[in-house]
Amino acid sequence: MADGITQAAYWNGEVGQRWARNQAVLDAVFSPLTDALFEAAGLRAGTSVLDIGCGAGETTLRAAAAVGPEGAVAGADVSAPLLAAARERPMPAGAAPVAWVEADVETYPFPPASLDAALSRFGTMFFADTQAAFANIRAALKPGGQLTLLCWQAMAANPWVSVPRAAILPLVPAPGPPPPPDQPGPFRFADGAALEARLRAAGFRDIVRTGLRVPVTLGRDPETAARVACELGPPSHLLREAEPELRARALASVAEALRPHATDGGVQLEAACWLVAAG
Ligand SMILES: C[S@@+](CC[C@H](N)C(=O)[O-])C[C@H]1O[C@@H](n2cnc3c(N)ncnc32)[C@H](O)[C@@H]1O
């Protein structure tokens, strides 16, 4: 995903800027997954919450609304452009104050035992050292505090990624071998048992992992959905270097592949995540 560059450089560069510009589109695609995350997190009024890898802040603001004015919420991310987009968003009425923190959550010195809850929508798969990062988060949580996270299951279980990818692959140079295990990337925690082992080694004890399979809507029609897949989804890295002519052919090919998935409610394909709660 970020060959040879750090995650901070990756998310502060073109990718972070593209995500920041398209924050509303991504939030709409992920909305059924976000609902499941918040249901599992069960945030209570007046509590303190950390949003890990908060990006453009959708989940941070929702947490702030959930805990209300007596609560406290921090959104932490390494990406300046995504945090800038987050800061510009209006605060929901009656929300907790939000601190936007530009920081690497793996090493940031959070006050020990200060948080009631930590949550993350797809923001925990990119640490240099997962176990160290989870240990840092565990230390920041109060005893009894809960981490609730969403991460992707394997690509093969995620047709919203694999279908567009298969349509692009014949048009581009063959990608290199899959990355070695445990490298930062969207599918790093595909092996849910290995993720649980990392959490346990970092000091978490009560771990509940649930498989979540829901349709996500990539766009109202195949052309819109193809743009979302090619510009924002994991297959976008295949087209990072593509000239306009190749990009146009890829978009057309992806739109054709997505056409059978068009419904009255838009172009829908299944997404598979792990929803993990750990105390
Ligand atoms: C896939 S995006 C998800 C963003 C956001 N949670 C959302 O759902 O829209 C991953 C996020 O993790 C952030 N990130 C990656 N490594 C990080 C780290 N070590 N500390 C804090 N944030 C990190 C990235 O900058 C990016 O915003």
**pLDDT tens digit sequence for 20-71:** 999 999 999 999 999 999 999 999 999 999 999 999 999 999 999 999 999 9
Q: Does 5 score more than 90 pLDDT? A: no
d(CA 277, CA 204): 10
Q: Write down the pLDDT at residue 123.
A: 98
pLDDT tens readout for residues 122-175: 999 999 999 999 999 999 999 999 999 999 999 999 999 999 999 999 999 888
Count of other CB atoms within 10 angstroms of residue 4: 5
- Strand, helix or coil for residue 207: strand
- Average the pLDDT over 258-276 and give the result: 98
Mutate to test the pocket of ligand 1, among 17, 31, 101, 126 (most ligand atoms within 8 A of CB): 126
Q: Write down the pLDDT at residue 272.
A: 98
Q: Write down the pLDDT at residue 4.
A: 60
Phi, psi at 109, each rounded to 5°: -80, 75
d(CA 151, CA 154): 10
Contact 108, 132 (CB under 8 A): no
- Ligand 1 first shell, C-beta below 6 A: 7, 11, 26, 53-56, 58-59, 76-79, 82, 104-106, 121-123, 126-127
pLDDT category of residue 241 using cuts at 50, 70 and 90: confident
Taking the CA of residue 51 as reference, the ligand 1 atom at the shortest distance is: 6
Contact 147, 217 (CB under 8 A): no
Domains and CATH numbers, the chain: 7-278 (3.40.50.150)
Q: Write down the pLDDT at residue 1.
A: 46
- Average the pLDDT over 201-227 and give the result: 97
d(CA 5, CA 11): 10
Q: Write down the pLDDT at residue 3.
A: 52
Q: Write down the pLDDT at residue 178.
A: 80
Q: What's the whole-number average pLDDT of the chain?
A: 95
Q: Write down the pLDDT at residue 212.
A: 98
- Average the pLDDT over 77-95 and give the result: 97
Contact 105, 85 (CB under 8 A): no
Reported for 135-138, long-range contacts at CB under 8 A and 24+ positions apart, including other chains, are 135/202, 135/203, 136/105, 136/106, 136/107, 136/108, 136/110, 137/50, 137/52, 137/105, 137/110, 137/202, 138/202, 138/203, 138/204
> Identity (one letter) of the amino acid at 232?
L
Mutate to test the pocket of ligand 1, among 89, 122, 273 (most ligand atoms within 8 A of CB): 122
Taking the CA of residue 11 as reference, the ligand 1 atom at the shortest distance is: 25
